[in-house]
Amino acid sequence: MFFPTFRARRIRSKEVFRRMVRETSLSVDDLIYPMFSAFGKGIRKEISSMPGIYQQSIENIVEEAQELYELGVPAVILFGIPEKKDAVGSDAYSETGIIQETIRALKKQVPGLAVITDVCMCEYTDHGHCGIIKDGDVDNDSTLELLAKEALSHALAGADMVAPSDMMDGRVAAIREILDENGFNNIPVMSYAVKYASGYYGPFREAAESTPQFGDRRSYQMDPANRLEAVREAQMDVEEGADIIMVKPGLPYLDIVREMRNEFNLPVAVYNVSGEYSMIKAAGKMGWIDEDRVIMETMLSFKRAGADLILTYHAKEVAKLLHKGYEISRASRCGCP
């Protein structure tokens, strides 16, 4: 196809044609909103590096969850800030832990909203790592027992889905086994199958108060240079019973999202992480970008790469823009380059 016989701009010339041939679509049903539940009452503390995102006590979590539900956002994923932390993250699997109590409140007061829980230890340990420490590193196999207990405690409290983010080998199998043994064979597992050791997590560590007190997480999270390893990691989780596989972070790893879409026929999720959110917010505040346009363009990039689900702190903003009928092509009328 060559000019002038073929003119690509013919179809671009009218908005109606652009809509008709658009290859990628974004829906409110694609969104999952992360929330940070804090022990106590009357808490609504904005995270300094994440404008618009808060640590909140349960009554405020419920209030925001109701807003999300009314906007059509189908699901939230919960992270906890407990009253106390210890070496084995006891609050993570306590019947009365912060997340367990938050699940019960949400399922009672916003029953139509799907509640997903992050299954990890870093928010609950006093050392900030994702499991039991032995000889200066996280011990994989003993940590599996605690992760399985945590997932079961979430299911018992009423969680609709569990999402292990720890990157321990074998954790999907351990969680699937304990859920099935206790009658929760219908609870799906959304595995953080491909989670890189990334610098984009900085603001989250403020939000979840989960900064490691020594070392880093490179012995269990993936090397950012590796692509084929991502396929192996995801394959293991699929074989162990994962129902959804996730890539984290999002924007720097769109090639990996596409790799997952090409390799597997399971739903693929992507986590639009805190650092990605904060960069857009900072640039928007400075007037360097059209914030709404960049948010929507970012969401479309995830969908175009092959993601079915997007975990994003922008979920409320995206839902509101979609309800207003926002089209990314409106930028063509704003004088933007």
Where are the domains positioned within the chain?
23-333
CA angle (182, 131, 207) in 5-degree steps: 100
d(CA 271, CA 196): 11
In this structure, are residues 79 and 35 in contact, taking their beta carbons and an 8 Å threshold? yes
- Supply the pLDDT for residue 212: 67
> How crowded is residue 109: how many other Cβ atoms within 10 Å of its Cβ?
16
d(CA 92, CA 86): 10
With a cut of 50, list the residues of the chain below it in pLDDT: 331-337
d(CA 154, CA 104): 10
Task: Return the residue matching tokens 């929760």.
Answer: 184
Check 108, 134, 195, 281 and give the catalytic one.
Answer: 195
- Determine whether 248 is an active site residue: yes
Residue 137 DSSP class: E
Would the CA dihedral through 310, 316, 320, 321 be positive or negative?
A: negative
Check 85, 248, 303, 316 and give the catalytic one.
Answer: 248
- Supply the pLDDT for residue 332: 40
In this structure, are residues 244 and 188 in contact, taking their beta carbons and an 8 Å threshold? yes
CA angle (118, 194, 273) in 5-degree steps: 60
- Supply the pLDDT for residue 29: 97
Residues 254, 160, 40, 73, Cα dihedral to 10°: 60
Give the CATH fold of the 23-333 domain: TIM Barrel (3.20.20)
In this structure, are residues 318 and 296 in contact, taking their beta carbons and an 8 Å threshold? yes
Give CA separation, 296 vs 25, 169, 201, 316, 328, in Å: 11, 35, 21, 12, 7
